[in-house]
Amino acid sequence: MTSIGNEAGALLRRHDHGVLATHSVEMPGYPFGSVTPYCLDRAGEPVIYISRLAQHTKNIAANPLVALLVADEGEVDVQTLARASYLARAEPLADPDPDVAERYFHHFPGGRDYQGLGDFVFHRLVIGRAHYVGGFGRIRWIDRAELVRANPFTAGEEAGIIEHMNTDHREALQRYCRRAGIANPPADGVRMVGVDGDGCALRLGSRYLRLTFASPVASLDEVRRALIALAS
C-alpha cells in the first residue's frame, strides 16, 4: 500500500461521523448532505443506522450511490487538514448480523433507544474509491484495496478485550486520555468501545477518541503488547 493510501484508510478509521451525500428525491439533480454517525463493521466497511423517515434514507432507496465526506478538525487553516470523499453503495441490512448491531451500539450507546421504534435500519456503505486530500500536493484517487481493512479479531475476541480493559484497567484508559492531550478525563466516564488491527476507540461521554497503535496487530498477544505500550 502507498503512504497516501494508508493515510486515506486511517482517516476513515479514526473518525465516527461524516457528511453523507445522497441524490435528492425531493429536488432531482441536486445533492443532499447530512451529518451521519458511523462505525466500521468486522469487514472494515462503514455502517450507519438511519430512520426510514429520514430524507437521506428515501434518497438511498431511489439511488444507493452515495459519498461519505470525512475530515479532520483543528485550529488551523481548514485547507491544510486531511479529508476524503469515500464513494460507496449503500446496502440496507434488514436482518443484520448481531455483531453489526452490537459493534454499532458499543460505539453509539444511545442508538439502542431507537431499536424499539421499528423504523431504524442499518445500512452498510460498500466503498469503491475515495478522493483524498492530505494537504498541499497530497491529492489522489485511492482504490478500495487501500481503504478497507478487515478487523483481525472475532466478535468474541474484541468483546473480551473491551470487557477486560473496562473492568480491570480503568487507570490505563485514563492514561490513554492524558497522553492524547485530555488533561482531566472523567474518573468513571472513560470506556473502550472498539479495537481492531490498527488501534482502539474510547468514549468519554459523547466524545470519541481514537488511538492508533505504533504498528498493526493481528493477534491477541500483539494487541496486549500494543495496549501496554499506549499506556507507557
The per-residue pLDDT string of the chain (232 residues; one tens digit each, 9 = 90 and over) reads 678 999 999 999 999 999 999 999 999 999 999 999 999 999 999 999 999 999 999 999 999 999 999 999 887 888 889 999 999 999 999 887 899 999 999 999 998 888 777 789 999 999 999 999 998 788 999 999 999 999 999 999 999 999 999 999 999 999 999 999 998 888 778 999 999 999 999 999 889 999 999 999 999 999 999 999 998 8
Domains along the sequence of the chain with CATH: 3-146 (2.30.110.10), 155-231 (3.20.180.10)
Q: Which of 60, 43, 42 is nearest to 51 (CA)?
A: 60
Amino acid at site 197: G
Q: What is the predicted pLDDT for the residue at 1?
A: 60
Q: What is the predicted pLDDT for the residue at 13?
A: 96
In the chain, alpha helices (H): 3-13, 55-62, 98-107, 155-168, 170-179, 220-231
